[in-house]
Amino acid sequence: MADRNAALSLDEGLVEQARSLNLDVAKAAEEGIARAVKSERERLWKIENAEAIAAENAYIEKHGLPLAKYRQF
């Protein structure tokens, strides 16, 4: 994947604190964006699959876990 430069407006005080702690501001920003993207994808996946999840939970509530008799815990 190619890197792309992006102009970002960041809280000046926060950037100063990061630099005083010898943090790589660009790397920290990228990691924060990656976490936000992951979190939003997970949230959207749950919304998109809510009906199937509810149906599976209802099945398990009614019939129990498949193969439960083989569980050793």
Q: Using one digit for the tens of pLDDT, what is the confidence trace for 1-12?
A: 778 888 989 999
Q: Give the pLDDT confidence score for residue 25 in this predicted structure.
A: 96
pTM of the model: 0.73
Q: Give the pLDDT confidence score for residue 43 in this predicted structure.
A: 98
In terms of phi and psi (left: phi > 0; alpha: psi -120 to 50; beta: otherwise), the region of 64 is: left
The closest of 45, 3, 2 to 26, measured between CA atoms, is 3
Q: Give the pLDDT confidence score for residue 73 in this predicted structure.
A: 80
